[in-house]
């Protein structure tokens, strides 16, 4: 049997907004291509050796529809959904068995089921072998439910499935260490997709994974890692105790929000463990919710202080400012730029709130009849797909473009952090 994994194309920020394309500096941040997340390499690692596997990443190469594989497995998130359905239709017309998995089929499986022979809902690790066996025995079911596997059994992802592919512009390798989050932030899909309990890989397993990568630049993909609760803090510090021993010294990219511990000792531990950059998403945490609402001066200054403390510990801060939340009004555009200026931010992104299916904002906007359309390709955080509260949709879009242009006016990307460089 041969399986062809497919990662369908999706519209990048600059593709969505041609008016930003001429700003080459922006292109470096908002439009780069990186390998897909780890779902496909993990399934590749679980696939028995007698089954041949290959990948088409449509973001860097065209799909060959004259494929000799028996099974086409398509992994996709919301902005890829329409392309994914067209891919499934074409392969089905050629008699192939097509299977869907990933974030979007997990949250709207009934939609994916219209186009695919079978839909894998949730995390596939514990059901992948069953799916393969059912294909062999011609007993494929319409739905498979993955649940929330114990991460201690995760295999080392087979990242060599990306081998020999040119076109990726960012080689910071992704390393997954946890799943799930106990919080319930407005626009976040993580608790919806991966549950409300934190699950962690063993530290030894993560280190073993890092040692197979062949590079010491990597990105821990999990936003909850830097949350200030005891579980996340304890785990991250244990992990960094081990990364600290790696040679050469690693350069780790972490992501999170302003909801982070700012004790000096904690931040020093992050730095000593190899963290060079923290990607901070503004919009959902209690600090940025209060700092970017009209009259939130006290929180604005506290938020500046959080960023300064992180920078003072030697960690570069890359910010992603969220625009369009109900607690914001038109002042948010200048406030975001003022914040970036005062915090001496060198690398920033701006995103428009997007009600991804089954997130809290999705349910609220449906109830309030505020979803403008379900054109999934536009659900990429560069388009207004809902009716904002304190702006018109055009004001929100123009404010978003204004922020990008103003921030990058006369500015070059900070070349001292080459983890960002294409």
For residue 283, the minimal CB distance to ligand SF4 (Å) is 8
Give the C-alpha separation, 289 to 145, whole Å. Answer: 35
Is the Cβ of residue 44 or residue 188 nearer to ligand SF4 in the bound state? 188
For the segment 345-384, give every residue that binds ligand SF4 (CB under 6 A): none
Q: Interaction with ligand SF4 in 262-301: which residues (CB under 6 A)?
A: 284
Tell me which residue of 231, 313, 198 sits closest to 266, measured CA to CA.
Answer: 313
Compare residues 113 and 262 and give the one whose CB is closer to ligand SF4: 262
| Closer residue to ligand SF4 in complex, CB, 186/209 | 186
Nearest one of 282, 395, 284 to 331, comparing CA atoms: 395
| Residue 172 CB, nearest approach to ligand SF4 (Å) | 20
**What is the nearest approach in angstroms of ligand SF4 to the Cβ of residue 383?**
20
The residue among 259 and 380 lying less far from ligand SF4, judged by its C-beta, is 259
Decide whether 84 or 280 has the Cβ nearer to ligand SF4: 280
Range 28-67, binding ligand SF4 (CB under 6 A) = none
Q: Rounded distance, CA 235 to CA 226, Å?
A: 10
In angstroms, what is the minimal distance from the CB of 392 to ligand SF4?
Answer: 27
Q: Alpha-carbon distance 116 to 268, whole Å? A: 49
What's the CA gap between 29 and 145, in Å, rounded? 36
User: What angle do helix axes 39-46 and 128-136 make, rounded to 10 degrees?
Assistant: 60
- Nearer to ligand SF4 (CB atom), residue 121 or residue 227: 227
Number of residues binding to ligand SF4, judged by CB under 6 A: 11
DSSP 179-233: E--S---TT--HHHHH-SS-EE--HHHHHHHHHHHS-SEEEE--GGGG-SSHHHH
**Minimum distance, C-beta of residue 167 to ligand SF4, in the bound complex (Å):** 29
Return d(Cα 304, Cα 336) in angstroms, integer: 11
Min dist. Cβ of residue 170 to ligand SF4 (A): 22
Residue closer to ligand SF4 by CB (options 35, 191) is 191
Site for ligand SF4 in 176-195 (CB under 6 A): 181, 183, 185, 188, 190-191
**Closest approach of ligand SF4 to the CB of residue 179, in Å:** 10
Name 400's Cβ contacts closer than 8 Å, sequence gap at least 6: 323, 324, 333, 350, 352, 382
Site pattern 222..251 for ligand SF4 (x: CB under 6 A): -xx--x------------------------
Beta sheet of 143-145, edge-to-edge order: 52-57, 2-7, 71-75, 97-101, 118-121, 143-145
Report the relative pairing of strands 143-145 and 173-175 from DSSP bridges. unpaired
Residues near ligand SF4 (CB under 6 A): 181, 183, 185, 188, 190-191, 223-224, 227, 257, 284
């Amino acid at each position: 049997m041969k399986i062809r994994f497919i990662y369908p194309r999706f519209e990048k920020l600059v593709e969505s907004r041609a008016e930003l394309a001429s700003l080459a500096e922006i292109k470096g941040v908002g439009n780069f291509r990186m390998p897909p997340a780890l779902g496909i390499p993990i399934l590749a690692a679980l696939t028995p050796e007698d089954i041949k596997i290959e990948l088409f990443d449509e973001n860097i190469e065209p799909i060959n529809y004259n494929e000799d594989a028996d099974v086409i497995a398509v992994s996709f998130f919301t902005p890829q959904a329409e392309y994914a359905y067209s891919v499934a239709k074409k392969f089905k017309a050629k008699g192939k068995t097509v299977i869907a998995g990933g974030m979007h089929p997990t949250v709207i499986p009934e939609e994916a089921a219209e186009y695919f022979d079978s839909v894998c809902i949730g995390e596939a690790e514990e059901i992948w072998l069953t799916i393969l066996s059912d294909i062999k025995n011609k007993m494929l079911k319409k739905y498979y439910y993955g649940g929330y596997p114990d991460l201690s059994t995760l295999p080392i992802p087979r990242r060599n499935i990306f081998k020999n592919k040119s076109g990726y512009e960012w080689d910071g390798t992704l390393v997954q260490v946890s799943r799930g989050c106990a919080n319930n932030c407005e626009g976040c899909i993580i608790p919806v997709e991966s549950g409300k309990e934190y699950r962690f890989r063993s530290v030894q397993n993560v280190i073993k994974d890092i040692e197979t990568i062949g590079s010491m630049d990597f990105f821990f993909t999990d936003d909850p890692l830097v949350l200030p609760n005891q579980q996340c803090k304890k785990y991250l510090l244990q992990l960094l105790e081990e990364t600290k021993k790696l040679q050469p010294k690693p350069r780790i990219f972490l992501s999170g929000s302003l909801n982070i511990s700012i004790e000096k000792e904690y931040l020093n531990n992050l730095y000593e463990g190899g963290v060079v950059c923290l990607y901070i998403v503004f919009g959902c945490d209690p600090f940025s919710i209060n700092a970017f609402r009209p009259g939130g001066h006290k929180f604005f200054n506290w938020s500046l202080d959080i960023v300064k403390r992180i920078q003072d510990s030697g960690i570069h801060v890359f910010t992603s400012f969220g625009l369009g939340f109900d607690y914001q009004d038109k002042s948010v555009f200048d406030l975001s730029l003022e914040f970036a200026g005062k915090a001496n931010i060198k690398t920033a992104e701006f995103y428009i709130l997007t009600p991804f299916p089954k997130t809290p904002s999705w349910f609220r906007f449906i109830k309030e009849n505020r979803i403008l359309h379900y054109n999934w390709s536009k659900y990429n955080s560069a388009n207004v797909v809902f009716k904002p509260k304190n702006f018109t949709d055009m004001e929100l879009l123009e404010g978003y473009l204004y922020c990008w242009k103003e921030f990058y006016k006369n500015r070059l990307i900070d070349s001292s952090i080459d983890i960002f460089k294409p």
